[in-house]
Structure 1
């Protein structure tokens, strides 16, 4: 695996196919290779071995061959549809979340469906997507089964933290690749009525926050002068605002943790809310 490779968690499900198609589009724009990885978890229960394969009894080598054929065909079909994209396929044995986390250390980007086999339409994101996104060593994109606007902007949430700096860089690069606008959203918590000073000026606070965002943007404006940037600064709830902004976006990007997040801890609340409720693919940028 090369450091710029796009790793796709693939199990033959509808959501995994959406993730694969998103990864192929990304690869076509960036020139990166794609690697489909099916993690085969043997179960000691008769009647079900792994997603996308016929029932059997552990350890059923026929089931393993079915998985290998599933991955081989998916990789071959993808390569035939996108002849300018290099596509590989792997089958690994073990716990899916753990192995995908380990493999992410050698990847440039990891792409997952929000749910695999066994997920039900309309439910929250699956445990594998949440766990891998929390612990991966590279940026992760979770592709949800929604109607993302292919012409919409790339939306990024920032709060001045190191994590949001990484998110901003990831987002502006994708906006430049796609030749679409970048919408930079900064949502701050206004002081509650009880703690609000008598001379509190919300407009002045908004102006200060906007100035901080513009400072973050300065080098990216110079690097990508053709990207149209919209800055949206407002008081409110960050997660709810970004979920709403995702309705008209083709991608929403956040950092793994915001201000106050502790290094090594799980995802921040905003990232988790977006993975569960966004209306378009969600990218969680991580610092290596």
Structure 2
């Protein structure tokens, strides 16, 4: 597998990239090649006084390269200019990545808006599965919050086609997964012709074949709020969810639940988008 690792070279990025347990989890699910990527804001120009930002970021990426190569990964580095989520998606398309990884925290309301906006924009537009790796907030030397990335997974499903696609990620995540909680939230707008209890039991049976301890939960109410409430109660290391919609309008509308989960989850989030199609254009 080939992964994009997007970084802003902050202390939070140091914590995520230098965490040996996180890197081991990526290796266990089959990641072999990592493309380290940092985006220079388009409003920063080389001619501006003291703005040798690209050179400094190249040096920073080389330090990260050493860490990841020592962990056994093949590594390439990319310093690009532009809007973060657009450039991250663009590089992911170019190198045919299998997943994108981005860290997320926020020390202040302003920092949370700036750093969190990239994760939220990626949640809406990502072209490959997206791992949002949570790092401590309000810490000078932050640590990742749940370093065993896929050890305990909370899988949220509405039984849609893309939720099924997200469940398919267990084909590789299972190599690092010991336990899973499967949750479905019923809402007044549901038009399901399936029994959610039976459907979740069927999925649990699949995971049991891989020796993954599984429990199922059915809730009623607002999907995002209930999923986040289950996350708070079972403390998974990662929440796995699919996004729906292929057109710009549908992604904005139907992606709202996954965006809320990315924005509000305490732990890591693994978001699986619809499959890439020929002629796909980034937003």
The two structures have a TM-score, normalised by structure 2, of: 0.76
Tell me the CA shift for residue 133 of structure 1. Answer: 2.2
Structure 2 match to 1:228? 213
Query: Are residue 110 (structure 1) and residue 110 (structure 2) matched?
Result: no
Count of paired positions = 255
Structure 2 match to 1:7? 4
Structure 1 match to 2:279? none
CA contact (8 A) 2:39 2:80 kept: yes
Cα offsets for 1:137-189 (capped at 9, x unmatched): 11011122253374962001001101111221224642x22241111101112
Higher radius of gyration, 1 or 2 = 1
Rate the CA distance shift 1:216–1:72 in 2: closer, same or farther, 3 A: same
Structure 2 match to 1:194? none
Q: Secondary structure at the match of 1:159?
A: coil
Q: Which runs of 5+ in 2 are unaligned?
A: 137-144, 276-283
Structure 1 match to 2:161? 162
Query: Are residue 280 (structure 1) and residue 267 (structure 2) matched?
Result: yes
**d(CA) in 1 for partners of 2:226 and 2:176?**
23
Structure 2 match to 1:211? 198
Query: Are residue 246 (structure 1) and residue 245 (structure 2) matched?
Result: no
**d(CA) in 1 for partners of 2:90 and 2:114?**
24
CA contact (8 A) 1:163 1:255 kept: yes
Structure 1 match to 2:40? 40
Alignment partner for residue 136 of structure 1, among 126, 129, 147?
Answer: 126
Structure 1 match to 2:142? none
**d(CA) in 1 for partners of 2:100 and 2:48?**
30
Query: Are residue 92 (structure 1) and residue 80 (structure 2) matched?
Result: yes
Structure 1 match to 2:14? 17
Query: Are residue 69 (structure 1) and residue 54 (structure 2) matched?
Result: no
**d(CA) in 1 for partners of 2:247 and 2:199?**
23
Q: Which runs of 5+ in 1 are unaligned?
A: 50-55, 192-204
**d(CA) in 2 for partners of 1:251 and 1:162?**
21
Tell me the CA shift for residue 99 of structure 1. Answer: 1.1
